[in-house]
Structure 1
Amino acid sequence: MINPYNILKLLSNFIFDKFSYNAPSPITCDEEQIARNLFNCLIKILESSSYLFESESTLDVDDESTYSDDEDSAPKTPTFKQLDVALDTDYQIIDDDFNLDQKFSLEYMKSAVDYFDEKDALTGKRKRSWTSVQHRFRRIPNPQCITRFRKYISTGGTKKHKIDDIDIYVYDQFGNARYQLLAVHDIDLRRWGLQKARELDLNSFEASENWLLAFKHRHRISSRKITQLVTRKHIESRQEIEQAAASFVDETNKVIEKYSPNEVLNSDQVGINLEPYGNRTLTHMGEQSTWSS
Structure 2
Amino acid sequence: MNLLNIAKHLLYLAETEYTSGNSATTVDEVVAAERLFEELKSFKDSYFNEMYSYDTLEFEDEFDETADEDENDDEMADEESDDEMTDDEENDNELDDYNEKEHSYIRNRFPLEEMENIIEWVDQHPNARFSTISHRFKKIKSMNYIPRFRKYVENNGTRLEKIKQVKEFMFNEFYVKRTIEKEAVHDADLELYAIQKARELDWDTFKASKAFIDTFKKENRISSRRCNKIITRTKPNKKHCSLNDAHNWIESKRPLILKYSTNEILNRDHCSFQQEHVPPKTLSFTGERTTEVAVKKKYNTTHSYTVQPITSANGHLLDKFLMILQEKENQFGQRVQKNLIVPPNVVIRASKSGKNSGVKHHVFLNEVLRPLVGKKFLLFLDSWKIQADLTKFRAVFPN
- TM-score range (shorter-chain normalised) is 0.3 to 0.5
| TM-score for both structures, normalised by structure 1 | 0.41
Greater length-normalized contact order (CA 8 Å, ≥ 6 residues apart) = 1
| TM-score for both structures, normalised by structure 2 | 0.31
